[in-house]
Amino acid sequence: MATKVAHPSPKTKIERTRLFIDNEWVSPIDGGSLETLNPATGETIATVAAAGPKDVDRAVKAARQALETGPWSTMDAADRGRLMFRLAELVEKKAGELAALESLNCGKTITDSKGDLEGVVNSLRYYAGWADKIEGRTVPVRGSFLSYTLRQPVGVVGQIIPWNFPLLMLAWKWGPALACGNTIVLKPAEQTPLTALAIAELAAEAGFPKGVVNVLNGLGETTGAAMVEHPDIDKIAFTGHVDTAKIIQRAAAATLKRTTFELGGKSPNVIFADSDMEAAVAGAFHAIYFHGGQCCTAGSRLFVESKIHDEFVERLAEKAKGRKVGDPLDQKTEQGPQVSQEQLDKILHYVKLGEKEGARLMTGGERIGDKGFFVAPTIFDNVTDSMTIARDEIFGPVVSVLPFKGLDEVVDRANRTQYGLAAAVWTRDIDKAHLFAKQVKAGTVWVNCYHVVDATTPFGGFKMSGQGRENGEAAIEHYTELKTVTVKLG
């Protein structure tokens, strides 16, 4: 059985709770406030200012001014990069404190938060390097003309992020946006408002001119919607639920904003009989249980070749039973709480559905303790493709095991989903690995590994898992407008 839950008494001081606009802490004009919880206890840890439409407007004006007339508008690209390097350095120095705050507010283990902080620093540094390498081209146009292209900032960008990786999602969005010279209004998720405020302060300390980054907390339907509707925001970059993306896309149509979306998944993780069984069991375990399954890339559909199915599932269940679930701030903890009561209820609802639809609950399936939002690592065996637990994104530590017999069959079944974010294959057969990688409809494919994501490589979804790509050079395209300049010669 998973270990019992110890409840932390957090010592982390929460100092920043207001809106961050124009490098200043301000109180809302027409907003309100949000109660912020520690998901390990369910108790309130802070009350944070929430932005209303007038606050959004104020932040957008600050960002517009910084873009058009402030020092940012004429700053050399190399100097933009230097500011980003400086921010990365400050984040690195404060990584311990930021990681503790992240764990306290979103429930991820302190080990995972430290890993996220490394990702944040890597991302800022990677894009800092891009700042003075964003180039146009000369084009061999017909006639006596010189034509060349320029890549210029999209403008004021609204960034709306989720609660599962609060700082990492911020960095993925700030990195390319700043490298390309945009200015930012960012809205964190209502469940996890704290670390974005901490990093905003570091941005000011690093020397970013006022108005370049602004952070507004608030509810999606109010603050988020006001950003999407605002006529002076040029682009919305969103990470979250597919249903929210549909609302945003509809609302963004009114002002024809650019939009990029990074959405959910129901990622197939395919284990062939010729794989290294030990590595594959560990990989399948990590694929689903990392951050309690609260990852858009979670390997929640586990296809196991029939020949090895029984042994594989036994070994996986053994590991699941031994997972240390508890206080996220304890170094030894392997899985913290789910982020909220809502998520806890949703996961337990899917467990009931799985049982009702005839899947075999091998282990887990219940809440741990009666305080905080902890869920035991859960395995459903004998799942069929049509069951709800094999189709819906659960966003919790619940894996569906689906037996299969061959490559063509598994590719076909893996692709029968509205999603296409990630996929993985475990095999020693190089042909099978590459054939799977080629045929599976997913933005990221892992071979004999899982959850390996880097600032340098494009990340995003096929089908309803998203639009556009983050990370790598690909994100630069989404944060710039392409301009053609043609000069008459002679």
Is position 160 an interface residue for ligand ADP (rule: CB under 6 A)?
Answer: yes
The 169-188 contact track toward ligand ADP, x by CB under 6 A, reads: ------------------x-
Is position 397 an interface residue for ligand ADP (rule: CB under 6 A)?
Answer: no
Between 169 and 401, whose beta carbon lies closer to ligand ADP? 169
Give catalytic status of residue 262 as yes or no: yes
Is position 240 an interface residue for ligand ADP (rule: CB under 6 A)?
Answer: yes
Among residues 55, 102, 112, 190, the one that binds ligand ADP under rule CB under 6 A? 190
Between 205 and 243, whose beta carbon lies closer to ligand ADP? 243
Is position 244 an interface residue for ligand ADP (rule: CB under 6 A)?
Answer: yes
Between 320 and 421, whose beta carbon lies closer to ligand ADP? 421
Of 262, 305, 334, 393, which is the active-site residue?
Answer: 262
Is position 346 an interface residue for ligand ADP (rule: CB under 6 A)?
Answer: no
Is position 241 an interface residue for ligand ADP (rule: CB under 6 A)?
Answer: yes
Among residues 62, 184, 189, 424, the one that binds ligand ADP under rule CB under 6 A? 189
Interface with ligand ADP in residues 216-235 (CB under 6 A): 219-221, 224-225, 228
**Minimum CB–partner distance for residue 187 and ligand ADP (Å):** 6
Phi, psi for 326 (deg, rounded to 5): 175, -150
**Minimum CB–partner distance for residue 266 and ligand ADP (Å):** 14
Give catalytic status of residue 180 as yes or no: no
Of 106, 180, 296, 305, which is the active-site residue?
Answer: 296
Is position 49 an interface residue for ligand ADP (rule: CB under 6 A)?
Answer: no
Between 103 and 259, whose beta carbon lies closer to ligand ADP? 259
**Minimum CB–partner distance for residue 163 and ligand ADP (Å):** 6
**Minimum CB–partner distance for residue 390 and ligand ADP (Å):** 20
Which residues would be at the binding site for ligand ADP (CB under 6 A)? 160-162, 187, 189-190, 219-221, 224-225, 228, 240-241, 244, 247-248
Catalytic positions, please? 262, 296
